C-alpha cells in the first residue's frame, strides 16, 4: 500500500489500526486474539489488536528470544485533531455549531477554512450487548471559517484562537428540526441503528483533503497525519518486505495516545509492548528469567517524525544540526533524555544503516530551546530495552497539512526491512 493510500484510509487511530490489520493479514500474518491461548511456531507471522487502537505484529525468530532478543520498532497511530462534543451540538444563526476539544497539540490556524470530515468509533447496544463500529462521515461535513480581516485587523499579527469560542465547527447539514441531533441521526442512518441504542461516540474532526504528491520526480508528500502515520506505514512495509524466517524475533508495535502523553491502555506507557514480549517468551517455553534475559538482548527503534529545517526559520535549529527533507531518516538525541538515544544505541543504528546503505541525519536541539519527546523514553524506562529515537524529517509538524519526502520514506522502509531480515 502506498503512503498516500495509507494516510487517506487512516483518519483516526481506530482506522489506522484497521488499515494495518488488513494489510498484515493480506501479507500472511495470522490474526490472534489477546484473550485466546497462543500456539506460536518459529517462522510464524502473527498480528494482534488491543482495543481497536493499538496493534502489534511479529515474526517468530528461529532463535528463542532469551538467546536472540527481540528486534522491536514502534510508532504511533494518533495525530492532533479536534474531538467532537457531539451532545453539545446546537443550532446557531441558521447552522449547526459543533463544539470541540483539542486532541493533542494542533496548530489551530491551519484548521481554518478547510473541508472537514468527522470520523471515529461508535458504541451501541445490539441484542443486549455493547458493540463498536468504525464510522466516517466522508468529505463535505463541516468547516471552521476564519474571521474576515476587516473584523480583526490584527489577524496577520497572530490573532488568538480560543478553542472554546473560536474553533466550533459549522456543519454543512441544514437546520430543519432543531430538536433532532443531525450527527446522531446520520449515525443511525449510516449504521442502521435507533438513536437510543447509541451509547457512546469517540469522533474527531479531521481534514478531508487527500494526500498529494508534489514535484516532477515525486519529491514531497503533503497530508494531514504524516506525524506519525508515515512511520506507522514504514513499519508495516518494512516488516512485510523483510526476509522470511529471521534468526531473531521481529516485532512492530503501533501505539495510540502519543499526542496526549501515552498514559493509556494502548499508549507507550501501557504494558502492551512488555506483555507481547512476555507472551512470546512463555509460548517458547520460557519463564520470568527468560523474559528478563530477552529484554537484555533486545533493541527498540522508536520511530516518530523529526523537525526538518525550515528555510524561513533556520535560526530555530542549531546550525550544526539541520535535518533536511530528502536526506534520510534522522537520529534524535537530547542531553535531558527527552529522546532515548545514547552513544551506544546511536552507534548500533548507524551500523545497521551502513549495512542497509541508508544515509542518516542527526538532530540536537538548540541549547537554548525546549525539546519535544516521544514513545522511546517511555518504553525504555518501562522495560530497560536499549532504544534509539529516530524519524523522518517533516515541515509543519501538527499542522492540518504537513510535508515530508518520499525519498526519506523509501529509505526508512529499506532500513526497517534490513533490520528485520
Ligand atoms: Zn509524533
Same domain, 264 and 350: yes
d(CA 91, CA 120): 23
How far is the centre of ligand 1, averaged over its atoms, from the C-alpha of 391 (Å)? 9
CB atoms < 10 A from the CB of 221, how many?
A: 24
| CATH code: domain of residue 186 | 2.30.250.10
Cα gap 339→372, rounded to integer Å: 8
The pLDDT confidence band at residue 376, using thresholds 50, 70 and 90, is very high
Asked whether the predicted pLDDT for residue 279 surpasses 90, the reply is yes
Distance 257 CA to ligand 1 centre (A): 10
At 109 the pLDDT is 96
Q: Is residue 158 part of a domain?
A: yes
Query: Count of domains in the chain?
Result: 2
Spacing, Cα 138 to ligand 1 middle (Å): 25
- Both 15 and 87 in a single domain? no
Cα(100) to centroid of ligand 1, in Å?
22
pLDDT band per the 50, 70, 90 thresholds, residue 7:
very high
How much is the pTM? 0.97
Displacement of CA 330 from its chain's centroid (Å):
17
Q: Which of 207, 236, 257 is the last residue of a domain?
A: 207
Whole-angstrom Cα distance, residue 149 to residue 63?
A: 65
CA distance 242 to 324: 27
Does residue 218 lie in a domain region?
no
Q: How far, in Å, is the centroid of ligand 1 from the Cα of 258?
A: 7
Q: How many CB atoms lie within 10 A of CB 11?
A: 27
Calculate mean pLDDT across residues 190-214. 97
- Is 37 in the same domain as 57? yes
Cell numbers found for residue 282: 512463555
- What is the per-residue pLDDT across 39-88, written as a single tens digit (0 to 9) for each? 999 999 999 999 999 999 999 999 999 999 999 999 999 999 999 999 99
Place of cell 438513536: 195
Distance 165 CA to ligand 1 centre (A): 27
Q: How far is the CA of 75 from the centre of ligand 1 (A)?
A: 8
What spacing in Å lies between the alpha carbon of 190 and ligand 1's midpoint?
32
Instruction: Grade residue 294 by pLDDT with cuts at 50, 70 and 90.
Output: very high
Judge whether 214 lies within some domain: no
Strand partners, 231: none
Distance 125 CA to ligand 1 centre (A): 34
> How far is ligand 1, taken at its centre, from the CA of residue 184, in Å?
31
Q: Are residues 314 and 185 in the same domain?
A: no
288 shares its domain with 341: yes
Tell whether 106 and 128 lie within a shared domain.
Answer: yes
The rounded distance, in Å, linking the Cα atoms of 328 and 414 is 11
Residues 170 and 297 in one domain: no
Whether residue 219 lies inside any domain: the answer is no
What is the Å distance from ligand 1's center to 74 Cα? 11
Q: Based on the fold, state whether residues 343 and 281 are members of the same structural domain.
A: yes
Ligand 1 centre and the CA of 340: distance in Å? 14
Q: How far is the CA of 176 from the centre of ligand 1 (A)?
A: 41
- In a domain, residue 68? The reply is yes
Residues 6+ apart with CB under 8 A from 252: 56, 57, 58, 72, 73, 74, 75, 235, 236, 238, 239
The reply to whether 153 falls in a domain is yes
Render pLDDT for 138-193 as a digit per residue (tens, 0 to 9): 999 999 999 999 999 989 988 899 999 999 999 999 999 999 999 999 999 999 99
66 lies in the same domain as 97: no
Residue 158 has a pLDDT of 82
pLDDT of residue 217: 82
With respect to residue 160, please indicate whether it lies within any of the assigned structural domains: yes
The answer to whether 252 touches 273, Cβ cutoff 8 Å, is: no
Instruction: Report the separation in Å between the CA atom of 37 and the middle of ligand 1, taken as the mean of its atom positions.
Output: 33
d(CA 374, ligand 1 centre) in Å: 7
Beta bridge partners of 377: none
Distance CA 29, CA 35 (A): 18
Does 218 have pLDDT greater than 90? no
Share of the chain above pLDDT 70, in %: 100
Mark whether 291 and 360 lie in a shared domain.
yes
Confidence tier at 399 by pLDDT (50, 70, 90): very high
Q: HSE, CB side, 13 Å, CA atoms: give it for residue 32.
A: 21
Measure the CA–CA gap between 247 and 65, rounded to whole angstroms.
Answer: 10
Q: Which of 96-105, 113-122, 193-202, 373-382 has the lowest mean pLDDT?
A: 373-382
Residues 89 and 159 in one domain: yes
- Where residue 24 falls among pLDDT bands split at 50, 70, 90? very high
Domain end marker among 207, 234, 268: 207
* Predicted confidence band of residue 319 (pLDDT cuts 50, 70, 90): very high
pLDDT value of residue 137: 97
Domain housing 316 = 3-79+224-419
Q: Could you tell me if residue 143 is inside a domain?
A: yes
**How far apart are the CA of 416 and the centre of ligand 1, in A?**
18
On whether the CB atoms of residues 207 and 111 are closer than 8 A, the answer is yes
263: CATH: 3.40.630.10
Q: Are residues 176 and 322 in the same domain?
A: no
Cα dihedral 401/303/217/4 (nearest 10): -50
Q: How far is the CA of 206 from the centre of ligand 1 (A)?
A: 16
Rounded to the nearest integer, the mean pLDDT of the chain is 96
Domain boundary among 149, 174, 207: 207
- 260-265 mean pLDDT: 94
What is the torsional sign of CA 345, 348, 353, 354?
Answer: positive
Amino acid at each position: 500500500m502506498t503512503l498516500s493510500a495509507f494516510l487517506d484510509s487512516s483518519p483516526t487511530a481506530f482506522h489506522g489500526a484497521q488499515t494495518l490489520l488488513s494489510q498484515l493479514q493480506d501479507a500472511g500474518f495470522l490474526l490472534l486474539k489477546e484473550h485466546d491461548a497462543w500456539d506460536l511456531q518459529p517462522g510464524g507471522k502473527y498480528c494482534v489488536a488491543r482495543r481497536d487502537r493499538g496493534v502489534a505484529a511479529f515474526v517468530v525468530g528461529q532463535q528463542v528470544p532469551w538467546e536472540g532478543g527481540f528486534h522491536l520498532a514502534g510508532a504511533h497511530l494518533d495525530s492532533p485533531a479536534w474531538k467532537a462534543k457531539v451532545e453539545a451540538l446546537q443550532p446557531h444563526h441558521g447552522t449547526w455549531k459543533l463544539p470541540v476539544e483539542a486532541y493533542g497539540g494542533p496548530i489551530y490556524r491551519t484548521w481554518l477554512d478547510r473541508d472537514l470530515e468527522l470520523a471515529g468509533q461508535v458504541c451501541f447496544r445490539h441484542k443486549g450487548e455493547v458493540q463498536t463500529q468504525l464510522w466516517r462521515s466522508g468529505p463535505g461535513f463541516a468547516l471552521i471559517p476564519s474571521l474576515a480581516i476587516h473584523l480583526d485587523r490584527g489577524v496577520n499579527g497572530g490573532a488568538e484562537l480560543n478553542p472554546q469560542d473560536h474553533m466550533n465547527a459549522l456543519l454543512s447539514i441544514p437546520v430543519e428540526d432543531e430538536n433532532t441531533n443531525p450527527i446522531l441521526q446520520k449515525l443511525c442512518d449510516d449504521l442502521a441503528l435507533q438513536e437510543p441504542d447509541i451509547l457512546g461516540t469517540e469522533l474527531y474532526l479531521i481534514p478531508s483533503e487527500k494526500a498529494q504528491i508534489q514535484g516532477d520526480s515525486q519529491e514531497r508528500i503533503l497530508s494531514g497525519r504524516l506525524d506519525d502515520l508515515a512511520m506507522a506505514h514504514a513499519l508495516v512495509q518494512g516488516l512485510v518486505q523483510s526476509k522470511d524466517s529471521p534468526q531473531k524475533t521481529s516485532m512492530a508495535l503501533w501505539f495510540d495516545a502519543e499526542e496526549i502523553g501515552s498514559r493509556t491502555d494502548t499508549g507507550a506507557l501501557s504494558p502492551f509492548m512488555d506483555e507481547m514480549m512476555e507472551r512470546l517468551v512463555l509460548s517458547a517455553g520460557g519463564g520470568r528469567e527468560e523474559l528478563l534475559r530477552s529484554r537484555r538482548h533486545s533493541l527498540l527503534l522508536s520511530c516518530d517524525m523529526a523537525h526538518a529545517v525550515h528555510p524561513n526559520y533556520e535560526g530555530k535549529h542549531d546550525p550544526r544540526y539541520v535535518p533536511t527533507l530528502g536526506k534520510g531518516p534522522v537520529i534524535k538525541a537530547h542531553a535531558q533524555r527527552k529522546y532515548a538515544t545514547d552513544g551506544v544505541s546511536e552507534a548500533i543504528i548507524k551500523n545497521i544503516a551502513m549495512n542497509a546503505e541508508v544515509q542518516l541525519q542527526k538532530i540536537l536541539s538548540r541549547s537554548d530551546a525546549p525539546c519535544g519527546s516521544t514513545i522511546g523514553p517511555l518504553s525504555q524506562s518501562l522495560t530497560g530495552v536499549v532504544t534509539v529515537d529516530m524519524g523522518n524529517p517533516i515541515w509543519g509538524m501538527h499542522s492540518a497539512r504537513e510535508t515530508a519526502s518520499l525519498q526519506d520514506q523509501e529509505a526508512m522502509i529499506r532500513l526497517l526491512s534490513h533490520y528485520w531480515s
